[in-house]
Structure 1
């Protein structure tokens, strides 16, 4: 259902990151606010530390994450990028729950189980989670995100047996639009030390060179 390659699965997750940020500076110790839900700097830092340790020991995750043009990719070469990627996914998990509600779909435990099974067939749910930038214990949350995207796109008319079907492509566009609108309504605020959202590129842009200033929120 989710495609025949790990690259497709990871790309689908990345496409879910169409977030629109709001202004404001979260209070000290906060990495991001997603509505009333707070992601702390401690939580984010722990996830990144756990991810680095686990990623080093997982050759499958390394192979998935490696740039084909540079097989000798070095872990931690861009630690700020690692943190931004992890924070983006932590936000996505929260937004996706609201997206499912807005689309009127229920993401049952059975749906998540099937998403885990699909990811396992594509290289392993835990390895894919590591390749995506989070530790293994976030694998089920990642699977829930994948399951949510699948369910919502199906509601919009997607046919996953034919990804080139115009209806499937339209459903993907509708998913991105709904994700963006939902994120807008949730008043997402990111600590400026981590950067800002660029919904056009589906990623967190790096922070400006202001990290040493006292208005970083930390």
Structure 2
């Protein structure tokens, strides 16, 4: 299961944008809010239950710490990418998603081997792989729209800027029980992970630009 710019299952992508402004009103029952789209706690729990059910069928799978936050990070970042595409009048087709799934099945050797890799290395349910596939296709489309070769060494930094702009425009908040949306990049994650919460759920704060080096 190999892919450019990657480490964990060679599926890793570049870092995500900074924590942006949150609403001053309460978000009861929300695990996260992306713009005007709520990811409810019950939705997150259903994804977690699907992962655990799949893991229970895999005798070699072991649940890792932070699985719940890992799932929420995928749901949040996938929404940001979808909205960034929509802003440009683009979207990811079902055919493109199926093509990605077929490519990974070929790389792993079979559909069954792919499902095992999804559970053991991405820590999501196989039923959630299309979300990741859409995210991955969306990354490439956004980079291409920006005139950046997705396989180039500049792709990671360029994708970060795209996500930062879109996320700051939308406004992203995460219930602090799960962490916070972060600028931290890690080569061991297949998508930008959540970081420890640094501010209250109800407090409005200005967007923080990513650190430069």
Change (3 A) 1:100 1:83: same
1:89 deviation in Å? 0.4
Establish whether residue 89 from structure 1 lines up as the match of residue 88 from structure 2.
Answer: no
How far apart, CA to CA, are the structure 2 residues paired with 1:28 and 1:93?
22
Point out where structure 2 has 5 or more consecutive residues left out of the alignment: 186-191, 203-213
Q: Aligned to 1:196, which of 167, 174, 180? A: 180
Q: Distance in 2 between matches of 1:46 and 1:21?
A: 27
Range that drifts further, 91-100 or 130-139: 130-139
Deviation for aligned residue 1:57 = 2.4
Paired with 1:200 and 1:137, the residues of 2 have a C-alpha distance of 27
CA distance change for structure 1 residues 159 and 50 in 2, over 3 Å: closer, same or farther? same
The structural deviation recorded for 1:42 is 0.9
> Gaps (5+ residues) in structure 1?
63-73
CA contact (8 A) 1:88 1:203 kept: yes
| Pair 1:122-2:107 in alignment | yes
Secondary structure of residue in 1 paired with 2:63: coil
TM-score by length of 1: 0.71
**CA distance in 2 between partners of 1:134 and 1:39 (Å):** 17
CA contact (8 A) 2:32 2:175 kept: yes
Name the structure 2 match of 1:23: 22
1:1-218 matches, cutoff 5 A: 3=3, 7=8, 9-12=10-13, 15=14, 17-18=16-17, 20-24=19-23, 26-58=26-58, 62=61, 74-76=62-64, 78=65, 81-103=66-88, 105-123=90-108, 126-130=115-119, 131-159=121-149, 163=151, 168-201=152-185, 202-207=192-197
Structure-1 separation of matches of 2:164 and 2:43: 25
Is this contact kept in 2: 1:29–1:41, CA < 8 A? yes
Q: TM-score, normalised by structure 2?
A: 0.72
Of structures 1 and 2, the one scoring higher in RCO (CA 8 A, sep 6+) is 2
Across the two proteins, how many residue pairs are aligned to each other?
Answer: 188
1:203 and 1:58 map into 2 onto residues whose CA distance is 24
Task: Return the offset for 1:205.
Answer: 1.4
Match of 2:208?
none
2:34 and 2:171 in contact (8 A); partners too: yes
Q: Higher helix share goes to which structure? A: 1
Over the aligned positions, Cα root-mean-square deviation in angstroms equals 3.1
- Any idea what the Cα deviations from partners look like across 1:59-110, whole Å, max 9, x if unmatched? 68x4xxxxxxxxxxx425x2xx111111000111111111223455442222
Gap change, CA 1:199 and 1:93, over 3 Å in 2: same
CA distance in 2, matches of 1:147, 1:127: 22
